[in-house]
Chain A
Amino acid sequence: MGRRPDFLQGLIMDCQIFDFSCEFLVRLILNGLLIGSIYALMALGLTLIFSILGIVSFAHGVMYMIGGYVVYFILLTYGNLNPLLAILAAGIVTFIIGSIFERLFLQPMAKGKIERPVEYAILVTFGLAFFLEYTVIGIIGPFPKKAARFFDLPELEVGIVETTSATLRLADIPFPASRLTAGLIALILIIITIAFIYKTWTGRGLQAVSQDRQAAAVAGINPLNMNTLAFGLGNLLAGMSGAVLVTVFSWVPWVGTAAASKSFVIIVLGGMGSLPGALVGGLIIGVVESLGTGLFPDPNRALAYKDAYGLIIFALVLLIRPTGLFGREL
């Protein structure tokens, strides 16, 4: 029994695939899964919005940005506050912003008062994105911020696991505590979201509206309220994605642009309106980007082509399955 940790460590550290050590490949895959889980969380929000409202929110990246700033300023002001409460606060703030926006600007669309709803939705969500981004620049300024690590790991050494306050080493593969925490929180939020959608009455109501609005209305479910709830929830998930990453990346008002672009790719890859698709798509993109950067033959250009690796997979999947991996509604 006592030999098992050495055996596992040896299995990882001594094996070689082509010119790469298994340790390196495992590290790339695990890093990809960690960041992919956060991509998935954000994409879940976007696909939820699309599934219920039938629109794609181009303000999704801004909600991600706002979530990060909420956590940063809360922890700056109340240093002793439990970071989980700050993350929850970020979700509440973005939920409220999203709900109010939906009521004011998107509900007329659902009520049939807008002549060209698709174009209207694009313009109005873009408008929200620009408005919020430049408001944040004006209030907070453009200088990069970063929240302190949420939790310090306890220092211990058990078999192949070794931890310092800032880093966990798994068979000598380093995982920063901030990134690990972000990935785990994202995973928990994904589980909660899926449980909410599939196991609660309200979640089933959302499913009903996404399948057939009129039938849901006949069954006593108010589609307009579900629209507001879905948009708010979608923004909540984006806000919480940002909230967990503000300890990992430097935060600037335009930080959401790249994240939003990735979410768009993921929801199309996974299948528009599919929750499992968003989850799997996010993980795939995360792993593919990580492996691509790590294994691309030219180390000089490997990172510069990072976004292309995911887009190549995206294009290949759409060629084979034009509706995406799962391609069905919520």
Chain B
Amino acid sequence: MHRKILWALAITAVALLAGACTTPTPETIIEQVVVTEIVEVEGETTIVEVTAEPTGKCSPTDVAGLEEIKIGVTVPLSAPGSVTGGRAMQTAINIAVDEVNAGGGVLGLPVDVVFYDTSALPERGTAAMEYFATQECVVAVVGEYHSAAGVAMKEISNKYHIPTVFSETWNDTITGVGYPEVFRVAPTSSIVAEADANFIESLGAEFVVIMTESTDYGIPAAEATTEKLAERGIESETYQADLGTQDFASVIARIQEGPTPDVVLVLVTGETSYNFEQQAAEAGLMPTADTVCIANQVAANSNDYWTNVPDGNYCTFRQVGLVPSLANDVTKAFEAEYRKHFDTFPESYALEAYDSLRLMADAINRAGSVDADAIITALEATDIEGALGRLYFPYGSDNPVPDDMPDYMWHQWPDPAVLFLQYFEDGQSRDDAAVVYPETYWTHGGIVPFGATP
């Protein structure tokens, strides 16, 4: 009996620990060391306060003696992160590195990237940045898919003054706090929420159900979308799920118990979204003649999508960045390389990762130095053609964000194209999906009604 109780306690502890692994984002505490110096100049005593550099940072400030330019890259390569997204980004970064090195590298030196798996967890994002700054001695950091990790990472980027370009993190605060080191090529949650709301409004929807994830991305994204929808007189109801949730049957039943939604918007990312979308399709929630499905953007990976959501025909999904018909020369060249790995047009997160590495390499080259301040100045002056389009940052230290613009426009690429595509045939490749919004980019005359053929 004593042994059984011991086992029971051990199991309970393990179960609670497993549950505790999904606890909310821990607050990142940044210490700033302020050193007070007493300086005596010709009889006058001056007290100077200097914020000391955090101990342990080993990033080089001079290219002399370097054999390579080391850049840190964070991506999710394990649960609860989106492995689909992480692998795509990792491949895109590697393609960019090969391209940069084939062109002579950066400052005449080869680029070496160090990958770190953040698993969408803020503590791992923090650990990644600490590792990059104190052990790998990176010059800069690019990447990241999940805002949960990105929100934490930006603090460490600021702490160690490491130039960072976020590829796919959408949380407004990442650039909204205005850190000099932090840049972003992905859209913000507010930009995407605006696009979502515009698309939903164009469908004539009156009631929307939002399925979001309980993370630093999902909660603010749902709030922003709810607000934008309300501005347009569209009612909405939000349901939250933890990343990694498998069984959505009860919450789907709950949604169907209420009024039939005109649209179900899936803000849950990665593989978790597949579970929800397929179970919703099986239960007859969406897509149907009455309810439009807006799937998570990982639906763009058509191989994985059809394997996991076989009943997901007629779902729409968001695509950030260009589609094949709008590709420029840079996009086409990247696409050719990317297809050797995945046989599909690059997803938005792949395009963003590719461009992030290229623009960082370009900035270091133009800076002519690995000094952080020089790189940051060069980043602010960026104006290059990327796979996403023309890349530039209109607002920075020389041109602060005006009062009538949102704070997140600081170091934010302002032109992310947010399109909506739709599958209209079972097993269809994303390359053949219809562009259904905005109207400017229609390929098949707008949204394809459920069950119809365009």
Contact = CB atoms under 8 A, between A and B. Distances in A.
Interface stretch (A85-93, A99-107, A172-180, A197-205): A172-180
Contacts of A301: 240
A166 to B, nearest CB: 6
Nearest to B212: A300
Contact of A264 (B15, B237, B247, B254): B15
Contacts, number: 153
B84 interface: yes
A307 B19 contact: yes
Interface string A302-330: 11101110010000001000111000000
Nearest to A307: B19
B307 A144 contact: yes
B12 A268 contact: yes
A148 B244 CA distance: 21
Contacts of A177: 282
Contacts of B284: 167, 174
B274 interface: yes
A56 B247 CA distance: 25
A145 B307 contact: yes
Contacts of B245: 303, 306
Interface stretch (A2-10, A221-229, A286-294): A286-294
B19 A304 contact: no
Q: What's the interface size class on A, roughly?
A: 35 or more
B19 A261 contact: yes
Contacts of B34: none
B8 A268 contact: yes
Interface stretch (A24-32, A108-116, A206-214, A276-284): A24-32
Contact of A166 (B250, B274, B282, B304): B282
A291 B253 CA distance: 10
Q: Which of A249, A302, A322 has the most CB of B within 10 A?
A: A249
A273 interface: yes
Contact of B240 (A58, A178, A304, A318): A304
Given A261-B18, A303-B241, A303-B245, A21 B257 contact: yes
Contacts of A257: 18
A135 B3 CA distance: 33
A301 B24 CA distance: 13
B11 A166 contact: no
Which of B247, B275, B311 neighbours the largest number of chain A CB atoms within 10 Å of its CB? B247
Given A148-B310, A249-B275, A303 B4 contact: no
B385 interface: no
A138 interface: no
Most chain B CB atoms below 10 A, which of A146, A148, A301: A146
B240 A144 contact: no
A176 B282 contact: yes
Contacts of B304: 143-144
Contact of B4 (A178, A299, A311, A323): A323
Contacts of B114: none
Contacts of B239: 299-300, 302-303
B271 A31 contact: no
A95 interface: no
A40 interface: no
A318 B77 CA distance: 39
Contacts of A244: none
Contacts of A50: 7
Interface in B212-269: 214, 237-242, 244-251, 253-254, 257
Contacts of B241: 303-304
Contacts of B249: 31, 35, 179, 290
B308 A250 contact: yes
B434 to A, nearest CB: 24
Nearest to B307: A146
Contacts of B326: none
B10 interface: yes
A143 B87 contact: yes
A294 B253 contact: yes
B283 A267 contact: no
B8 A302 contact: no
A168 B391 CA distance: 52
B84 A144 contact: yes
B137 to A, nearest CB: 29
B251 A293 contact: yes
Nearest to A119: B10
A123 B245 CA distance: 27
Contacts of A146: 274, 278, 307-308, 310
B240 A20 contact: no
Contacts of A255: 246
A261 B7 contact: no
B7 A142 contact: no
Contacts of A167: 282-284
A304 B12 CA distance: 20
Contacts of A192: none
Contacts of A120: none
Nearest to A298: B240
A293 B254 contact: yes
A122 B84 CA distance: 33
A144 B308 contact: yes
Interface in A9-54: 20-21, 24, 27-28, 31-32, 35, 50, 54
A22 B19 CA distance: 32
* Residue among A20, A32, A145, A307 with most chain B CB within 10 A: A307
B6 interface: yes
B247 A35 contact: yes
Interface of B: 1, 3-8, 10-12, 14-16, 18-19, 77-79, 83-84, 87, 214, 237-242, 244-251, 253-254, 257, 271, 274-275, 278-279, 282-284, 304, 307-308, 310-311
Given A264-B15, A302-B250, 12 more contacts: A31-B250, A142-B78, A174-B284, A250-B278, A264-B11, A265-B11, A267-B11, A294-B250, A299-B238, A301-B240, A304-B241, A323-B1
6 contacts: A178-B282, A250-B274, A261-B14, A289-B247, A303-B250, A318-B8
- 9 A-B pairs with least C-beta separation: A176-B282, A293-B250, A142-B83, A264-B11, A261-B18, A144-B271, A303-B251, A249-B246, A24-B257
